[in-house]
Structure 1
């Protein structure tokens, strides 16, 4: 299912954006879920609780403008698509600093949104979230890869640090790495397995993670970790230039 959030303080525009979006995905027989918000405050209150595939934002709104809202989204979620539908074209340059996919004028919203969805649909349908399943005697837990910041070793256990807290599994760090089986996760040191998608900065031998924590990289791992991060970031950089 493709999940779309639409934020616009103008009720008429919000309803039109919803109608265009609902009609497009209905015509393509693609299952979708659409949430609409007229209040920036309500939108931000629910931001940490659920993630959408696409965010449709107005650029000029009370309390926080659309650029500030996008920055809040990017603090939590690097993957979703952000599209602006607005009358305020003066924000266009700033919009691309938060990796905006499209910047559409409101008087061309139907044509612009349909064109954007037509390009995005096959990409979104092909995308499939992966999950790490934690099995305990009386408990099962499913943790999305995209929610995992890093995994750390604590005694005989591995602790998964994720968006909703921490989950301990009685397994070795190497066993968890093997089970994850993704190039996104890289051994930073003997006791840490970092998710590259949540590395915001690498300075000297320190990884600054999206959740505010810092992981130290082992000396012998430094070059390997740095190269892995650069290789992972390169495709995203190319996409930004094209847009």
Structure 2
């Protein structure tokens, strides 16, 4: 299931973008779920609650424009795919500054959008969210890997710090690392396992995490962590 958000303040344009998108994915026999927004304020209110695979944004809107909306998306999610559909070409430079995938003029909507979806489809199909299942006597919880900022050791427990809060279980950090079994999670100190996708900056031995927190890197782990971050950023 591919989840798509479309944000455009013009109702007619919004409906047209939805129709073209549904037609395309139906023709490819790919299931998709499309959520429509006509106000950037309403979109931003629910931004933390729901994550999409693809964001289609209008650049010029009342209130926060599409560029500002993209900046808010990127604060929360590490790898969103953003497409701009607009008549305002003056936003093109700013659009690419927020790592936009495509910038499509509205007068070329159907042809250009179909070509964009053709290019994106393999990557979208390959995106399969992994989940860590937490089992307790009285409850079970499913946490998406991409929602985990870091995991920390607290006494005999470990605490998952994630997009929806914190979850504690009685387990060792080394066991959690093995069960996650992902190169995105790295030990940064004896008591911390960080999701490298949510590292925004490394300064000296401090990691600045997407949720605003700072984690200190162990002295003996410094070179390894720095190299892992540079590799992830493609530097």
Would you say 1:139 and 2:139 are equivalent positions? yes
Task: Kindly state the Cα deviation for residue 113 of structure 1 after the two structures are TM-superposed.
Answer: 0.9
Structure 1 residues 1-243: aligned runs within 5 Å:
1-234=1-234
Task: Kindly state the Cα deviation for residue 77 of structure 1 after the two structures are TM-superposed.
Answer: 0.9
Distance between the aligned counterparts of 1:111 and 1:76, measured in 2?
A: 31
Task: Kindly state the Cα deviation for residue 99 of structure 1 after the two structures are TM-superposed.
Answer: 1.1
Task: Kindly state the Cα deviation for residue 98 of structure 1 after the two structures are TM-superposed.
Answer: 1.1
Moved over 3 A (4+): none
Distance between the aligned counterparts of 2:210 and 2:68, measured in 1?
A: 17
Distance between the aligned counterparts of 1:63 and 1:6, measured in 2?
A: 17
TM norm structure 2? 0.98
Task: Kindly state the Cα deviation for residue 188 of structure 1 after the two structures are TM-superposed.
Answer: 0.6
Gaps of 5+ in 1: 238-243
Gaps of 5+ in 2: none
Task: Kindly state the Cα deviation for residue 11 of structure 1 after the two structures are TM-superposed.
Answer: 1.0
Distance between the aligned counterparts of 1:214 and 1:227, measured in 2?
A: 19
- How large is the Cα RMSD of the aligned pairs? 0.8
